[in-house]
Amino acid sequence: MNTRKIAYGFLCLGFLLLMTGGFSSFIISLKDDHQQVLHRMEDVSGLFEGFSTKTTAFEEFRDELYNDVLGNVYYDTMVVTDDAVKEKLREYEAMVDDLTGDAKKMNSLCGNVYYPQASVNSMCENYKSIYEQVVNYFVTDIATYNESVQKYNDYQKAIKSDLFVSEYQARYRYIDYNGDKVFDGKE
């Protein structure tokens, strides 16, 4: 009977150690998850800050593009300035490409995740609308330029000239990135 008590004591002690170990493991893993969430929130904040800076640069470039290039598209100089205009449009598209890379990174950090800080959740929501506007502004600007090119080419054809300017072929189309069924930035 004495061995039964000892065995029962060991069994209780083993069970108690097992429960303590499981509880400790749970607490440690909860702490690790919390650290990972904090790290991800820092990543979202840092990435959003860079995204915002690039968006500001995009807006400034867009204003400059309209003032210096697209606002000065004239039939009599279109052939002469075509290469310079296309180079500016490639720079413009490269800025959109850069923002697309950041948007994909933000999407991987923000997709179907709710963070404990409202500011981080706001960043995760806002980048989608901002990115959608950027792409749709770009597409609208290219469409406007291509309309001018088409009118120029029609004019040249009407006067039987052999001058021709090719349209700018962009890789982007209008998007609804935030899924609200509204194309933000499509003018």
User: Taking the domains of the chain in order of start, what are their residue ranges?
Assistant: 40-158
pLDDT classification of 73: cutoffs 50, 70, 90: confident
Give the up-direction half-sphere exposure of residue 178: CA atoms within 13 A in the CB hemisphere.
19
Arithmetic mean of pLDDT over the chain: 85
Which range has the worst mean pLDDT, 36-40, 106-110, 124-128, 143-147? 36-40
Q: How far apart are CA 96 and CA 99, in angstroms?
A: 5
Q: At what angle do helices 2-68 and 78-110 cross, to 10 degrees?
A: 160
The residue among 101, 102, 88, 104 whose CA lies nearest residue 138 is 88
pLDDT classification of 57: cutoffs 50, 70, 90: very high
pLDDT average, residue stretch 36-55: 89
Q: What is the CATH number of domain 40-158?
A: 1.20.58
Residue that is written with structure tokens 């990972």 in the block: 36
What does pTM read for this prediction?
0.80
Decide if pLDDT at 185 tops 70: no
pLDDT average, residue stretch 105-128: 88
CA atoms 109, 114, 120, 123: torsion sign: positive
Residue that is written with structure tokens 């469409």 in the block: 143
Give the 3-state secondary structure percentages of the chain, helix then strand then coil, rounded to 5: 75, 0, 25
Q: At what angle do helices 2-68 and 118-158 cross, to 10 degrees?
A: 30
Residue that is written with structure tokens 């959003």 in the block: 48
pLDDT classification of 8: cutoffs 50, 70, 90: confident
Decide if pLDDT at 33 tops 70: no
